[in-house]
Chain A
Amino acid sequence: MIVSLLLPILPPLALSFLLAGLWGPGPHPFRSHPLLKVCLAVGLALGVSSCTYFGWLLIGGPSRMGLMVSESLLAIASSGLLFYVLQKQLFRTAQHSDSTPVPGSDSRWMFGALVACTAVTLVTALTRFMFASLLTPDGDVDAPAIWNLRARFLARGDEQWLDSFTGLLATHVPDYPLLIPASIARWWTYLGDEPAVVPALVAMLFTFATIGLAASSLSLLRGRTQGLLAGVVLLGTPFLIRHGASQYADVPLGFFILATLVVFCLHERAAGHRPGLLAMAGLLTGFAAWTKNEGLFFVPIVILARLLVVVPARGWLTYWDEMRAFAAGLLSVLLIVFFFKIHVAPGLSPILAEQGSATTIERLTDTSRYLEAGQAFFRKAARFGHPGLAVLLIYLLLMGWRTNETDLVGLRTAAVTLGLMLAGYFMVFIVTPHGVRYQIETSLDRLWMHLWPSIVFLFFLFVKTPEEAMAESAGRSKFDVRKFEVDQS
């Protein structure tokens, strides 16, 4: 029963795991950092399969058998190619084994406490997610009104699948991208049925892959304790779990933003130029744009952030080399997004369509809008989830921060990207035609959710690990004792 339910996602998941193994960190494609690769594979699998499903709808129409045959052929060809390349790289040379976990003298009691705490929060979060899904099987308001509704049109629509892009629908948002609806519709098409558990499973995969990705990548980059701490903070953010279970597209977008920043950091740790990792970053950025319109905004921001960070540090040539590999991944998805926006669901998003030069300038020069939006942003930052930024700030003061040359470019990329995203979201609140208060009440929480997992990742990349803080304190205490002895004498 469970196997047959999961069968439609297993082949793309396996293929994506192979891809993550090929391009990902570690000396062995499968055994090194398996959790990190599985989490990346979840996003890649749902992203790639939604694209192939959409492509099949356009080319072959809504034929179940046609979809299965074409995807199977594609899967066999891709896996053959991936296996061939992987065999050649099975045991990578020592120069590629640079992304091994940071050696840390993990304090045993602290590590034990963290493992226990992670287990408790994980079980609670999983239970909460499952019960929330049982109470509202179709998700909260927007899920049946937008995402799952469109999935039904795609899966049930036969030749008229384009009907879901009509203005007749009560929620007229035809230009919303299709990663979530197409993933669900593809899954339903394979099953030949529409169990309500499928959208809940997609939501669950994204929610827990986000947490797993933050924890596993930080384990690799900063040590196990740091990874567990990030995991505990994310698991202890009730809104992440609640909103994940609501089946909106905000948590998946947050996953792709986080995954892009993680892959850039992994690239910095890798010895030499790794075009595969950069192509993967491009692919993940493209999937962000294929998930929500805010993801389209993320694309130029990543490119700009990389320019602002890489060019001063390494020059234009390095940036150009990086962008070529990045664009190879990005364009393969972005072309699908543009085709969808131009041919399937033309038209501007209401927030852009309702702008005019006079009204926009009027809004931009209205200081009360800045004040209202600014206050809301700061209030949200202090109280978002649990723990909010206020608690993280106290933690930072207790632990201190580090400046490590190895991670500096990755860290700056993440910081600049998140800063620009926040600035961009803030400006949306200023120019919104719906009124600042309405926009704050309806979307501020969700916009924070896009960035929160990446903020937590960036924070734990930047802050000292408990081991580093303890080692520093021990070193300082020796110095202090020596000073005390001199004073006594």
Chain B
Amino acid sequence: MNNEGRNFLEILWEKEEGIARFLFEHFYDYIFRVAFFITKDHQLAEDAVQETFLLVLQKCPQLNDEQKINAWITKIALNAARTQLRKNRGFPVTLDPDLIYQQIEKHLPEELVVQKEDLLAIWQSIENLPPEVQRTFILHYRYEMSIKEISAATGVPEGTIKSHLSRGRNFLRRKLQKTSCGPGKEPKPAASVEEVNRT
């Protein structure tokens, strides 16, 4: 998503022809991945991509701040994916934990030694975060945006962004503690979204 120093919206509306194509090529890969993150289904993710672009192209002229486009598109993509999931309730796919671990391990720094079950707990729990926290997490951790950048992009105050990150981390920490209960120990009830919001 590199704008190469040019104003994105300027490029976008520079000429009428090719506007949609430019936008599509620029964000297609990203939107698909965000949609797949929610739906876990290629077909549903593809449908969500279509829905997202239709909405993005309809609403784009109303967007007057280039900085906000990433966050704005992320939000639309997350909503479109959730809508697809609601319309097409699929089989819950349980992935092989070994395969999941292999996928995550590739992205860990070599010097960091972590327990497999802790990574799997984060893998599972991250999807139970409230949507706004998920969006903050994606922008911060995956796209390495600073708190200030996220705030500018989403229009959410910096304090709230910090709070999203802190609450999300606390939620995951609690999940990790529960993982350590292990078999035979009494599992505590799962933390709810409300709990995340309250913390």
Do A and B belong to a common assembly?
Answer: no
